[in-house]
Amino acid sequence: MIKVLIINGPNLNLLGERETDKYGKDNLEEINLQLQKYAMEISIELETFQSNHEGEIVEKIQRAKYESVKFIILNPAAYTHTSVAIRDALLSVNIPAIEVHLSNIYKREEFRHHSMISDIVIGQITGLGAKGYFLALDAAKDYFQGD
């Protein structure tokens, strides 16, 4: 069984309350419960984490290397566009990762069109709401098929 870590960045703790037209009506706890159930069905050990603090996200990524994490699914939220620190943390652990965004960042303000990590992750899922996390779990499973 592979261990997958889902990291959610700033303000995602307010899902279901803020801008539901962009991010949906489910809160993060509900999404995480659905993801845990699905992960068990497809034989993935899943850990979820959310922080509004860049340094905590960096530390979580760094610890993943020593906690048997084999795959990272990351929604950096606002840090997508600004965080060299998160980018460097991903590079330092050498764990395959997928970038997920609930909204389509390319249909939003111009500054959101650039991701600091898109060129170092194996893929990006954007604009499909919470379904993006489930697709990323499937991709993680497929990535290790045969291991």
Q: Is 113 a catalytic residue?
A: no
CA distance 68 to 20: 35
The DSSP element (H or E) to which 101 belongs, if any, is: strand 97-101
In a domain, 32, yes or no: yes
In a domain, 103, yes or no: no
Q: Would you state the torsion angle of the CA atoms of residues 132, 69, 54, 13, taken in this order, to the nearest 10 degrees? A: 50
Give the helix ranges, DSSP H, for the chain: 20-23, 28-41, 54-64, 84-93, 131-143
In a domain, 104, yes or no: no
Query: 18-32, 55-69, 100-114, 118-132: lowest mean pLDDT where?
Result: 100-114
In a domain, 135, yes or no: yes
Q: Which domain holds residue 69?
A: 2-98+115-143
In a domain, 87, yes or no: yes
Name the catalytic one among 66, 81, 101, 113. Answer: 101
In a domain, 82, yes or no: yes
The CATH number given to whatever domain includes residue 27 is 3.40.50.9100
Q: Is 101 a catalytic residue?
A: yes
Write out pLDDT tens, residues 91-147: 999 999 999 999 887 666 686 667 989 999 999 999 999 999 999 999 999 999 854
Full-model pTM? 0.92
Give me the number of domains the chain comprises: 1
| Cα angle, residue 66 at apex, residues 79 and 9 outer, rounded to 5° | 15
CA distance 76 to 86: 8
In a domain, 110, yes or no: no
Name the catalytic one among 23, 66, 81, 143. Answer: 23
